[in-house]
Amino acid sequence: MNEVHNPYAPGAGIQPPELTGRDNFLERAETTIKRAVQGMFSKSFIAVGLRGVGKTVLLNRVRDIAKEQNCKVAMLEAHDDKDFPSLIAPAIRRILLDLDRMETISEHVKLSLRAFRSFIRSVKITYKDLEFSLGVDPEIGVADSGDLEVDLPELFVSIGKAAKSRGKVIVIILDELQYLSEKEMSALVMAMHKVVQEQLPIVLMGAGLPLLVGKMGESKSYAERLFEFPKIGALDYTDASSAIVEPARRQNVNFHETALMKIFDLTEGYPYFLQEWAYVCWNVAIGPIIDEGDVEKSTPRVITRLDESFFRVRFDRLTPREKQYLRAMAELGSGPHRSGDIADKLKVPSNKLGPCRSSLITKGMIFSPSYGDTAFTVPLFDQYLKRAMVFSPWNDSE
């Protein structure tokens, strides 16, 4: 069939033609934002799930909802090589300048601009334009201690007051939260804690890999009171089928039930894979009914596409030893696996694997679903590893 009309949307953060199975999440997010607009508190959200389950896509929808409700929105994506203050500063600056530009002068907004100026000086953000285009002096003694766990809460309180003085809600949307350091995560939790205590209109909507929960450390008990951590996972058969069937139906194309079952089998209901399979099936099929044979024809092409993009991007950033560690996990199956079993496979004592394991966690490749267990953050990654490399134990002389 003609690729020009192909409705499917494989790719990170790309809005699917039919967003299924997430009504509950979206309703709750909408309620939270609407309550905030009414000046009422609801827990903020942090969506937790593996890669490719649709977290970013949900955050995009949350952004749209927040904009419809006239909120001031900051949408940010954390990276492992960028610190949190530099990430959030430009967005806060924009929001504050926006609030400042409204008709009347607000003392709270001016004060917040000064606090912000102190903040960017104290965290040593060097963007010259950030500091100088503000047109205010720093507010000495506010958000300038140099300790993020003190300064970020002070900054949030001051921007919260600024927003409140303008009758606005600020919605901070943070993707890839697992890349925040423990210190940054704790500062963020403290900041939201203060905001809630003072009943200020800031809502946080985040998403990240399951390992982010472990990063909350001591701030975890606070976090559990402030946030909900809805789990975003694979779709069940009904939702997976509608995600595929509905966009096709709009163009008078149908999927045979056996084709849907086959796709569900291969993808285990993971949204990214569903989009990939449906996309290639569409291109391969003569139509207007896509059957099991079309799925079979598509599969090798889909796997090549996935191997070259979705799986490959992260794999390429690993050291040879890290790759072998993951390959040993794959050898054991889809997981989770006991650390001891991985060590046995690699023929090294468990304690020697510690640094490699932590670095794989930092890189967002694995996480620990429970004490002593290790699991992949990418669904079906074990199958990819088996295609990509041969297994061998660690060689101690390396």
Ligand X SMILES: Nc1ncnc2c1ncn2[C@@H]1O[C@H](COP(=O)(O)OP(=O)(O)O)[C@@H](O)[C@H]1O
Residues that bind ligand X (CB under 6 A): 9-14, 16, 19-22, 49, 51-57, 243, 271-272, 274-275
Measured from the CB atom, the residue of 54 and 335 that comes closer to ligand X is 54
Site string for Mg ion, 249-288 (x = CB under 5 A): ----------------------------------------
Window contacting Mg ion (CB under 5 A); options: 29-37, 54-62, 192-200, 382-390: 54-62
Residue with tokens 């799986």: 311
Give the nearest distance from C-beta 284 to ligand X in angstroms. Answer: 18
**Residue 21 or residue 138: which is nearer to Mg ion going by CB?**
21
The 8-class DSSP code of residue 16 comes to: P
Least distance to ligand X from the beta carbon of 91, Å? 19
Is 123 or 295 the residue whose CB approaches ligand X more closely?
295
Whether 176 and 208 have beta carbons less than 8 Å apart is answered as yes
Q: How far is the CB of 117 from ligand X (least distance, A)?
A: 34
306 and 47 Cβ atoms separated by less than 8 Å = no
Cα gap 174→79, rounded to integer Å? 11
DSSP 3-state assignment of 106? Answer: coil
Q: Which does 117 bind (CB under 5 to 8 A by kind): Mg ion, ligand X, none?
A: none
Contacted by 213, from Mg ion, ligand X, none: CB < 5 to 8 Å by type: none
Closest distance between Mg ion and the C-beta of residue 207, in Å?
A: 7
CB closer to Mg ion, 118 vs 267:
267
Is there binding between residue 377 and Mg ion (CB under 5 A)?
Answer: no
CB of 54 to Mg ion, least distance (A): 8
Among 6, 20, 32, 56, binds Mg ion (CB under 5 A): 56
For the CB of residue 222, give the shortest distance to Mg ion in the complex, in Å: 25
CB of 186 to ligand X, least distance (A): 24
Looking up tokens 């008709």 gives 103
Distance, CA of 70 to CA of 166 (rounded, Å): 12
* Separation between Cα atoms, residue 139 and residue 214, nearest integer Å: 35
Distance CA 92, CA 156 (A): 10
- Per partner kind, with CB cut-offs from 5 to 8 A, the member of ligand X, Mg ion, none near residue 243 is ligand X
56 vs 374, beta carbon nearer ligand X? 56
We find the least distance from the C-beta atom of residue 373 to ligand X, in angstroms, to be: 21
Encoded tokens for 275: 């989009």
Residue 18 CB, nearest approach to Mg ion (Å) = 19
Closer residue to Mg ion in complex, CB, 50/191: 50
Residue closest to 275 by CA, chosen among 16, 98, 65: 16
Q: Which does 19 bind (CB under 5 to 8 A by kind): ligand X, Mg ion, none?
A: ligand X
By beta-carbon proximity to ligand X, the closer residue of 49 and 206 is 49
Q: Smaller CB distance to ligand X: residue 55 or 72?
A: 55
Which residue stretch of 56-64, 78-86, 129-137, 256-264 sits at the interface with Mg ion (rule: CB under 5 A)?
56-64
List the Cα angle 56/14/255 in 5-degree steps: 115
Measuring CA to CA, which residue among 40, 37, 57, 38 is closest to residue 49? 57
Could you give the CA distance from residue 156 to residue 201 in angstroms, rounded to a whole number? 10
Q: Between 87 and 243, name the residue whose CB sits nearer to ligand X.
A: 243
Nearer to Mg ion, 54 or 153 (CB): 54
218 DSSP 8-state letter: G
Residue whose tokens read 């205010």:
136
Residue 81 DSSP symbol: T
| Strand partners for 54 | none
One character per residue 10-49, x = contact with Mg ion (rule: CB under 5 A):
----------------------------------------
Structure tokens at 321: 């030893």
Q: What long-range pairs does 81-86 form, CB within 8 A, spacing at least 24? A: 83/123, 83/181, 83/184, 84/148, 84/180, 84/181, 84/184, 84/187, 84/188, 85/119, 85/120, 85/123, 85/125, 85/148, 85/152, 86/123, 86/125, 86/127
> Which one of ligand X, Mg ion, none is in contact with 54 (Cβ closer than 5 to 8 A by kind)?
ligand X
Separation of CA 317 from chain center? 19
Residues of this chain that bind Mg ion (CB under 5 A): 55-56
